[in-house]
Amino acid sequence: MKTLIKNGTVVSDTDCKKSDVLIEDGIISAVSSSIEAPDAKILDAKDKLLLPGAIDAHTHMDLDVGFTRACDDFYNGTVAAACGGTTTIIDHMAFGPKGVYPWHQVKEYHSLADGNAVTDYSFHGVLQEKADDRTFAEMREIAEKEGITSFKLYLTYDMMLHDKDVFAVLNEAKRSNILITVHCENDGIVNYLRDRCGVENNLTAAFHPKSRPAGAEAEAVNRMLYMAECADEAPLYIVHLSSEAGLKEVLAARKRGQKHFGVETCPQYLVLNDNLYDDPKEGLKAIMSPPLRKDADRFALWEALKNDFLDTVATDHCPFTFEDQKQRGKDDFRLCPNGAPGVEERLPLLFSEGYCKKRISLPQCVKYLSSNPARIFGLYPKKGVISPGSDADIVIMDPDKKRTIRSASLHGNADYSCYEGMEIKGEIDTVLLRGEAIVKNNTFLGKKGMGRYLKRGISSLCL
Ligand SMILES: [Zn+2]
């Protein structure tokens, strides 16, 4: 089957060019100024942009947090992703039961995602509690057999790794060409402050950001970067950077010449601020870790994106319903499930708040949403670029249309959006996954289970 997209402007991470795109059997076969293919189905993209399908390298579909689960499973969550122009997700696994080794969660996650996901998908492995020879043997085996070439560890939460184990993991990762992704917050600071909130009866949402200050992030970012450096520059990826203080540590490492690391931020840290916590009821919607910060932090992160000092924009999509699940925290923010929806809003927000407001260029949008995540997570050039030989994952976008974000017209199971009522510019017209139109005019047209599991290669950060 052939499809020809005529008259569009193809955006890459370096430029924008008027081009036709020919697709054969799900793969892009030609990109050129004028293509004729009489037997192809024609899609007219006049005055429209063609972006490579976005890759969200940080989602938590169906996340089990012990007392409840994230309200999007791999079906609903990827329908929402697709409607927001995301054609590939790399999901962060939940911790397994105490004492399990990495294979346990790999199997668990296949059972959750296989046959359900509608976008292509992969997983990051998860490291919990400890790291010993069996952990390392399983990491190597999982990387080889499953193409899971990145593993996540946490510097806070009950199943965190302590520094000696973190350092052992980094040394192993360096030897095995595995990328370590890390949640950076200083556990001692956070737990001390949370305990104080309890003692002093400071339990409304407004105390959530106070219990997880920017300094707790910055300290952990600094520590991780130095530990990676001491492990002969082990490849490292810092998830969800939220603060200017954390950013300063990143910039310091870049200045020292450290190269083998990447840094992610998320739309919520670019677009929202901690005023959302002032209302004790509404504030529960934005209980996430790290928390929302000040405007100065947002502006610093935008500036860093503009100057190519960060690498990706992902979501940390981890939705819970406001009416039900989030209410667990109404008398004590510490009991509120951590996380918020966002997988569907990411591309439209970066386009509107980033490109349309001239904070970043259009190629930079593509770089942060698609090309860089593809490179860093071993999917390039199969994903992340509109080029002959690549999968035909394409977002056809009308750059001039305006709309207002309403949770009622989004596709996830959460009953709210943190961006409710925001006016944005740019509207997704059509989303193609391997040549097939899975979204048209905000309607999902695909089929449950059509997403393919992706075995990933080595991260560009290992090279
Ligand atoms: Zn996360």
Give me the sign of the Cα torsion angle 102, 107, 113, 119: positive
Give residue-wise pLDDT tens across range 116-129.
999 999 999 999 99
Domain ranges of the chain: 53-384
For ligand 1, the distance from its centroid to the CA atom of residue 41, given in whole angstroms, is: 40
pLDDT of residue 328: 98
pLDDT of residue 442: 97
- Residues paired with 316 in a beta bridge: none
For β-strands 436-440 and 423-433, DSSP reports them as antiparallel
Instruction: State the chain's mean pLDDT as an integer.
Output: 98
One-letter amino acid at 342 equals G
For ligand 1, the distance from its centroid to the CA atom of residue 19, given in whole angstroms, is: 37
d(CA 260, CA 162): 22
For ligand 1, the distance from its centroid to the CA atom of residue 23, given in whole angstroms, is: 35
For ligand 1, the distance from its centroid to the CA atom of residue 208, given in whole angstroms, is: 17
pLDDT of residue 277: 98
pTM of the model: 0.98
For ligand 1, the distance from its centroid to the CA atom of residue 154, given in whole angstroms, is: 10
Give residue-wise pLDDT tens across range 153-193.
999 999 999 999 999 999 999 999 999 999 999 999 999 99
d(CA 157, CA 396): 41
pLDDT of residue 381: 98
Per-residue pLDDT band for 96 (boundaries 50, 70, 90) equals: very high
For ligand 1, the distance from its centroid to the CA atom of residue 318, given in whole angstroms, is: 7
Decide if 151 contacts 235 (C-beta within 8 A). Answer: no
Give residue-wise pLDDT tens across range 296-319.
999 999 999 999 999 999 999 999
For ligand 1, the distance from its centroid to the CA atom of residue 156, given in whole angstroms, is: 12
Nearest Cα neighbor of 80 from 453, 417, 425 is 417
Per-residue pLDDT band for 137 (boundaries 50, 70, 90) equals: very high
For ligand 1, the distance from its centroid to the CA atom of residue 59, given in whole angstroms, is: 7
Q: Residues 432-459: what's their mean pLDDT?
A: 98
Q: Residues 365-383: what's their mean pLDDT?
A: 98
Nearest Cα neighbor of 89 from 120, 116, 114 is 120
For ligand 1, the distance from its centroid to the CA atom of residue 226, given in whole angstroms, is: 22
Per-residue pLDDT band for 282 (boundaries 50, 70, 90) equals: very high
For ligand 1, the distance from its centroid to the CA atom of residue 183, given in whole angstroms, is: 8
For ligand 1, the distance from its centroid to the CA atom of residue 192, given in whole angstroms, is: 22
For ligand 1, the distance from its centroid to the CA atom of residue 240, given in whole angstroms, is: 8
Q: Residues 354-370: what's their mean pLDDT?
A: 98
For ligand 1, the distance from its centroid to the CA atom of residue 37, given in whole angstroms, is: 44
For ligand 1, the distance from its centroid to the CA atom of residue 124, given in whole angstroms, is: 11
pLDDT of residue 452: 98
Pull the structure tokens for residue 293. 């910060």
Question: What's the chain's Rg over C-alpha atoms?
Answer: 21
Decide if 250 contacts 220 (C-beta within 8 A). Answer: no
53-384 fold: TIM Barrel (3.20.20)
Q: Give the count of beta carbons closer than 10 Å to the beta carbon of residue 452.
A: 16
Distance from chain centroid for Cα 127? 19
pLDDT of residue 338: 97
For ligand 1, the distance from its centroid to the CA atom of residue 166, given in whole angstroms, is: 18
Kindly list the distances between the CA atom of residue 158 and the CA atoms of 21, 155, 384, 427, in Å, as whole numbers in the listed order. 50, 9, 35, 42
d(CA 225, CA 231): 10
